[in-house]
Amino acid sequence: MVQVASHAQNAYLSNISIPRYVRANSGIEITGRCRNLSSPAIFAFSVSWRLDGGPLQTMPNIGVGAPGITTGNFMPFTHPVLLNASQGPHILEVIVNTLTDTDPSNNTITINFTALNSWADKVVLLEARTETWCPQCPPSNTETDLLMDNTGFAVAKFHMSDALNACTECITYYQQHNINYTPAGVVEMGEYGSLPITPDHFSWGPAMTARAAGVSPVELTMTSAVNQTTRVLTVTLNAEFTYAVTGPHQLNVYVLEDNVPGPQQNAPANYIHNKVMRAMLGGVSGTTGVVPNSPMVGTSYTRTYTYTVPAGFNIANLQLIGVIENSPGGFSNRYSLNCVKRSATGVGINDLSLANITLHAYPNPFVDELRIEVPGVSGAASVELFTLDGRTAFQRNLTLGQQGTGLLDMGGDHLVNGAYLLRISTTKGRAEQRLMKVDRP
């Protein structure tokens, strides 16, 4: 994703946002802002774009009423001609034109992107820094909790200088961002240098939404299981490319914990931390050597990690984020190609099969609520809802009654209509059932 401000006198462009990877042959809207760096005011402007040095696509002049675009101000625009690109890498130039521009040398923004005929849906990664003593961390925590509810977003919170900083490799990793304040957020590892590491938590959501408009050249899937007796977590991360992207590539799995109580200045009582980083299974630099520098399209590249969960962490509240990175320029130019997120399901033994228990969930299709029946099983259970491409859309711990029944209310989780796989895990086994989500009649 590119969000660039190229300064000029008087006019320049900002907020031109094109994802790093887009759908090929699909109309892309070019929007942005015409800004004024210094007087005189701008009373009319036009924007042109061209792809790969081709013909200019110029929009009609936009008139600006009094007092015009004055110093430091802007006017948004939407170019009427959609961008369509065939598969492969491209160069887009976007140019602003005004009559009062005294320095046209910086009027052009150049953006590199790649269009894909075959792609995977994109999950956008936010790495946030927080501390229990930070006065602005409570509102930023609320903001990130809202972002976590979006199935297209993955959020990890790094505690650097407080009682929750138990992950040594997490601290070493995040210090490479050279952040010395909190709260701070880095979206997609700050690819292209286009998103400044910023304490403005209200900007994190729009930045992630803009990047989620793109797609990914790699399908990432992840499975996991926890042995509750030995507390050994096993995670398998699998990457399959739809388009060959030159490496180097790294794999990693973030282990996080939800519902962690902790002290917090300027926060309400019973303040809770979510997505607290507990471990990076690929270490500070990620796991290299699994995905080659020139990956083959359609080939699976897999790495299995094991991790013994410390006694102080709640297995039932563990969450996982699988990440595949591309780092052509080292840490300063690394970015997330894609992510996948899910819970770390706790079970009593490692090899419980899907045939050990029976699951009946109804109604099917469902709207918001599901009645769960697991005959002969009562007590604690973990329930997950997956999209058919393996992404976790919903996860909740559930207590089954004496008759093996429970009720799931997903009305507040904003599930999109479509097919899902429901999985329930108990101490007696696991079971799955296909379901369909529909709107209320």
**Domains present along the chain, CATH in parentheses:** 11-116 (2.60.40.10), 121-346 (2.60.40.10), 353-437 (2.60.40.3080)
Of the listed ranges 48-52, 79-83, 123-127, 199-203, the one predicted with least confidence: 199-203
pLDDT in tens, 114-125: 999 999 999 999
Q: Is the predicted pLDDT of residue 10 greater than 90, yes or no?
A: no
Q: Is the predicted pLDDT of residue 5 greater than 70, yes or no?
A: no
Q: Is the predicted pLDDT of residue 192 greater than 50, yes or no?
A: no
CA dihedral 163, 164, 165, 169 (to 10 degrees): 160
What pLDDT score was predicted for residue 389?
59
Mean pLDDT, residues 77-88: 96
pLDDT in tens, 315-353: 888 999 999 999 887 777 788 999 999 888 654 433 334
Q: How confident is the model at residue 29 (pLDDT cuts 50, 70, 90)?
A: very high
At 194, list the tokens.
């286009």
Q: Is the predicted pLDDT of residue 189 greater than 60, yes or no?
A: yes
Share of the chain above pLDDT 90, in %: 49
What is the distance, to the nearest Å, from the Cα of residue 75 to the centroid of all Cα atoms in its chain?
A: 29
What pLDDT score was predicted for residue 8?
44
pLDDT in tens, 227-285: 878 889 999 999 999 999 999 999 999 999 998 887 777 788 788 899 999 999 999 99
pLDDT in tens, 372-403: 998 888 888 888 888 765 677 888 888 888 88
Confidence (pTM) = 0.75
Mean pLDDT, residues 283-300: 96
What pLDDT score was predicted for residue 349?
35
Q: How confident is the model at residue 356 (pLDDT cuts 50, 70, 90)?
A: low
